[in-house]
Chains A and B, each alone.
With several copies, the nearest count.
Chain A
């Protein structure tokens, strides 16, 4: 069999050393009553070649981004990933290592994570970042947990314009955390600071998204101020790709910045694995969930890196830990690091500008009404197609075009609305093609 490393001769020798006569004897502690006595119903073992054929056949029944002109976004984006990302992540020393518990054998991953933490802090304007959370939804729950313990309050406020999946996940975690969740409705696509201030009274934190789920730019500084006025922590959910052109949450008074890292360095991969990032102001350092890498020195005074502040974590604090996370998204976070190093400050700014310019061009070119006219947007915007969005999707996809995400799935009264995403992968020609199917 493919992954067997023992020969029958090996097994014989080993059993003898152990002092038993059969492999079966090794399982003597397993009560008869719970033994499994037939073969697992899992089919014939496959050869590598057969595995590849089987999976190629399955993959062929999907339509990936490359096979149609896709304007899908809504939280996961088709940004270009440079070839160096995979070239490095596929190196066995990174790919097949686990959590760097033994720093002398793990300086590679540890230093890279320290660099990742720094890059996240730079993007968000924060002081401390963990080494990754599961994704852009779970880091929101993490932020609530931090806020609850930091403020002693038991209410969290979510902007309705925050990604619906993020809101759902917070709601799923809330009962266990002993938190009540309150929504603040959007007004024409953005959140009203005064309404937010009102809702934030007595709240542990307020979470809003910039740019928000509709692609609109919130008056983020005002929202943060509103939260702060109410003594709630301001938490901004941000798109890393936007942070070359959009202000850093740390610069407008947020306590915590979170987000989905996928757009920076991870393939779409049908929704995962991706990485969530979580960064905060220094005062929250010891409340952070998950791994954090710190700098130190060895006995000879050499600089080195270790997992640090572990007294926050489950393997030491157990039921008092700041989180139960252990396996995280390191490899994906490293992909983000490499991608962001490749972009550099200039590339990141140009990338943001290109996405915005394409979106502005598309707004004009498509010639359909906007759902939220007059709002400033980044790389996404919502359009009205005048009939059920699903119908438009069906027809467009026949032409090899995916026109975008149907907002009706999550929002009342938007059954005729599509959320259209523009990344640098889209061309003016692609936009013309979309305009065509929409006008049909």
Chain B
């Protein structure tokens, strides 16, 4: 399909702008500041723009298209009513610098949402500001830093412990926060290896970052013990909330002993993922950490709500204003729909995952043979050994059956990993259809492996040359000089990177 720039024709246009009558034209700008060559934006009439992007959408797969069991991403149904309320002029067209007395509804909504999240996480104070989970992580680590600095312990508390199953954002956040990373191993049951952990926790430890249930979809059976270990040395526990969908109303991070939690609103609380975002990564903390939260805080005086900038110990700001408000509106609407029955959401998510696991574990290897939480990780190692079929092949073949593949090659400790998260919003029929497809593929791996190797079939493109893409790094259209990559040789296959987290 053509790029929009390849459909452009000089002089075409869609936009017509108001020409205020008797408004004097703006004075010429000084030469150095005035634009010399206009940007080569495409020139199309409106109907061609609509057709272009409409056609692009037909080349994309979303939850509205079908089952999307992308592990760790909690791809649940995005209620359309959330889009409707987020588009209410009172929210959509509200300027962030609007006066407090003219934005009471927005402030109340944020305050309510903070309280809901505090209740769900069993913590005391919430900041909605972080733009996504990773920023929540970084913010949480900044809080640790500020907390220890305040107590004069910052100089020697340099280490943050992270599990080897952790999402890549955890170690990356540790580095960006200026901490040293300490890796801890996973034991044969899929819990953190306590013996290994003991050797790594001491007074130099600032804290732990943990996802629980872990990225293996397993709840750490020693969480109380682990919490004790860190608290004994004065460290803090950070909860990566990406998997909160497993435990709402069942086990609360604060009760598990965590001091700082980020919540991925776009996972547990249903945001349309929009092809990669936006998201929201609020953080909830224990009282002792509240003074360090980002400004402004959304505060309440009786019936009135206000933005409180007077937080002398605050780490400052991690993004503009109070956070991605439109995201808050959607998650707020989602939580209102469930109300006190939110526990059913997590129960069904866990039930759906265990049902799929039960149906699949015969055909694919299960590295840790336990009941799972909201997701589970299988390994295609056996298929690879016996038939040369990789997790990638299984993923591509699933497309032929009309499903989005699960996350693959993550977590890293599981070879040929297939990380499957159905969420609570799928029906049993959908789960059965997916299970049937997975089982059929396992059979095909033995009977007609080439079908899998050449999958997917009938998509706009076949498997793409990612190595060539990285080597050539053609990351923008170059107009006249645009290279014809089809004329260039293919690159050798590479080892697979995680796809899905």
Contacts and interface: CB of A to CB of B under 8 A. Distances in A.
Given A64-B93, A128-B476, A169-B317, 20 more contacts: A2-B338, A17-B355, A54-B336, A64-B90, A75-B320, A82-B80, A83-B79, A83-B81, A97-B60, A99-B273, A269-B92, A271-B320, A295-B469, A296-B464, A297-B486, A298-B464, A308-B469, A316-B497, A331-B278, A345-B39
A414 interface: no
Given A36-B252, A40-B119, A138-B135, A285 B473 contact: yes
Interface in B460-488: 460-466, 468-470, 472-477, 485-486, 488
Contacts of B345: 3
B501 A315 contact: yes
Contact of B53 (A34, A88, A132, A145): A88
Interface in A33-76: 33-36, 39-52, 54-67, 70, 72, 74-76
Interface residues of A, number: 214
B90 A61 contact: yes
B18 A50 contact: yes
20 contacts: A26-B347, A59-B88, A72-B98, A92-B62, A101-B500, A109-B275, A176-B142, A178-B178, A217-B33, A219-B32, A270-B94, A270-B326, A295-B475, A314-B171, A317-B172, A318-B168, A326-B132, A326-B134, A327-B276, A397-B99
Given A59-B90, A295-B469, A271 B321 contact: yes
A90 interface: yes
A194 B482 CA distance: 40
Contacts of A6: 348, 351-352, 424, 427-428
B172 A341 contact: no
A440 interface: no
A326 B501 contact: yes
B194 interface: no
Contacts of A244: 35, 38-39
Interface string A412-437: 00000000000010011000000000
Contact of A95 (B12, B272, B344, B351): B272
A19 B370 CA distance: 12
Contacts of B347: 23, 26
Given A244-B39, A342-B15, A3 B275 contact: no
A282 to B, nearest CB: 8
A18 B342 CA distance: 23
A324 B221 CA distance: 29
A309 B132 contact: no
A349 interface: yes
Nearest to B462: A298
Given A7-B11, A329-B278, A243 B35 contact: yes
Contacts of A411: none
Given A84-B49, A103-B461, A357-B23, A42 B340 contact: yes
Contacts of A92: 50, 54, 62-65
B396 interface: yes
A268 B4 contact: no
B6 to A, nearest CB: 10
A292 interface: yes
Interface string A149-186: 00000000000000001001101110111100000000
Contact of A306 (B89, B102, B425, B469): B469
Nearest to A311: B470
A98 B59 contact: no
